[in-house]
């Protein structure tokens, strides 16, 4: 808080750690994946700090929000594809690689949907206090998406735990399926609100 570092600089540092995490996973061996998981954890910590610092220093911006979303997408896509590549190269089974690609692809669709949604939605710094309060139209689907976002915030600990047990590869199939389910729900939620 008392340093001259800006929220966007924190986001950039987070990006560096996230891309390094994906690069380490390319090797596919235990120590590389564990190192990648620790780097991924650091990336998440920094990712959670940039928004807080932006609020505390009153440096919130539309660019910062868009940049943070871009970094989240890029890190996750690279991490899953790197993990899939590493698993495939160690086992010789190509389906590991394709599950990583599917997880990255699903995340990419979700990122595109968020870009579209945010194109017309005002930034948090532009909302009045009343507009920023939760609305009464909270549905089961909205709660599901919110719960998925809460789980996403703890995802780095799941990654670290699985990598300690040498089982991080087994995250790829549920990630590949979950990424598709998540963007489908986001699309349905947006379409429902658009028609209301």
Q: Are 147 and 139 in contact (CB under 8 A)?
A: no
Each residue's pLDDT, cut to its tens digit, for the chain (196 residues) gives 778 889 999 999 999 999 999 999 999 999 999 999 999 999 999 998 888 888 888 888 888 888 998 999 999 999 999 999 999 999 999 999 999 999 999 999 988 888 887 776 665 555 565 655 555 544 554 555 455 555 566 888 999 999 999 999 999 999 999 999 988 887 887 666 655 5
Domain 7-123+135-195 has CATH 3.10.310.30: no
Q: What is the pTM of this model?
A: 0.80
Among 99, 110, 106, 93, residue whose Cα is nearest residue 170: 99
The structure tokens listed for 60 are 């919130």
Phi, psi of 100 (to 5 degrees): -65, -40
Among 183, 104, 115, residue whose Cα is nearest residue 145: 183
144 by Cβ neighbours in 10 Å (0-12 / 13-18 / 19+) ranks as middle
Q: Are 91 and 29 in contact (CB under 8 A)?
A: no
The structure tokens listed for 176 are 């590949």
């Amino acid at each position: 808080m008392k340093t001259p570092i800006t929220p966007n600089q924190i986001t950039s540092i987070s990006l560096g750690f996230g891309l390094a995490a994906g690069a380490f996973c390319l090797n596919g061996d235990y120590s590389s994946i564990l190192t990648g998981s620790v780097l991924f954890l650091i990336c998440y910590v920094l990712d959670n700090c940039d928004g807080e610092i932006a609020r505390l220093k009153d440096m919130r911006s539309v660019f910062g929000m868009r940049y943070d979303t871009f970094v989240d997408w890029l890190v996750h896509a690279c991490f899953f594809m790197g993990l899939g590549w590493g698993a495939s190269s160690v086992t010789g089974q190509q389906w590991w690689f394709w599950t990583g690609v599917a997880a990255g692809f699903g995340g990419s669709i979700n990122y595109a949907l968020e870009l579209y949604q945010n194109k017309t939605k005002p930034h948090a710094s532009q909302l009045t206090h009343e507009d920023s309060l939760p609305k009464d139209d909270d549905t089961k689907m909205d709660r599901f998406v919110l719960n998925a976002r809460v789980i996403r915030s703890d995802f780095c600990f799941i990654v670290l735990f699985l990598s300690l047990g040498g089982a991080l590869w087994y995250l790829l199939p549920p990630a590949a399926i979950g990424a598709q389910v998540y963007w489908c729900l986001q699309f349905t939620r947006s379409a429902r609100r658009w028609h209301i």
